[in-house]
Amino acid sequence: MELAVRQAPYKSSLNVAAPSHVFTIGRVAELLAEEEQWLQEIALELEPEDGPITVHGTDDRSTLAFTEFGIENLRVLIDEHKRQFARAAQILRTK
């Protein structure tokens, strides 16, 4: 007799480790010594797979948080934005 193997309905076929902790946007701003509002704006460029997470709280409030991978991706964006700003400033100075 052959027994059917039954898989639990909640198990995903993806083998991805779930984050055990995240850092709020406020904490990330402190860690990176950047303005929280500016980080909020540039974080809009990140895709969900890049590590941002929306955390929902009480009173329909939510905050942006990041996995460690998300912080690294945010650092890349910060560097890109700062380079673009420096290039634009250089162009303006030469005019």
Domain assignment of residue 49, yes or no: yes
| Residue 2 belongs to some domain of the structure | no
Which residue range forms the structural domain that includes residue 71?
23-94
The H or E element spanning position 23 is strand 23-24
Burial bucket for residue 86 (CB in 10 Å: 0-12, 13-18, 19+): exposed
Strand partners, 65: 24, 53
Task: Judge whether 11 lies within some domain.
Answer: no
Q: What distance, in Å, lies between the first and last C-alpha atoms of the chain?
A: 84
Residue 34 lies in a domain: yes
Is residue 9, in this structure, part of any structural domain at all?
Answer: no
Q: How many whole angstroms separate alpha carbon 70 and alpha carbon 76?
A: 10
Per-residue buried b or exposed e for 29-67, using 16+ beta carbons within 10 Å of the residue's own CB: beeeebebeebeeebeebeeebbbeeeeeeeeeeebbbb
Q: Is 14 a member of any domain?
A: no
**Is residue 51 assigned to a domain?**
yes
Q: Mean pLDDT score of the chain, rounded to an integer?
A: 86
How many domains are contained in the chain? 1
Give residue-wise pLDDT tens across range 7-22: 555 555 656 677 889 9
The pLDDT of residue 11 = 57
Domain assignment present for residue 78? The answer is yes
| Band of residue 44 on the pLDDT scale cut at 50, 70, 90 | very high
Q: What is the pTM of this model?
A: 0.74
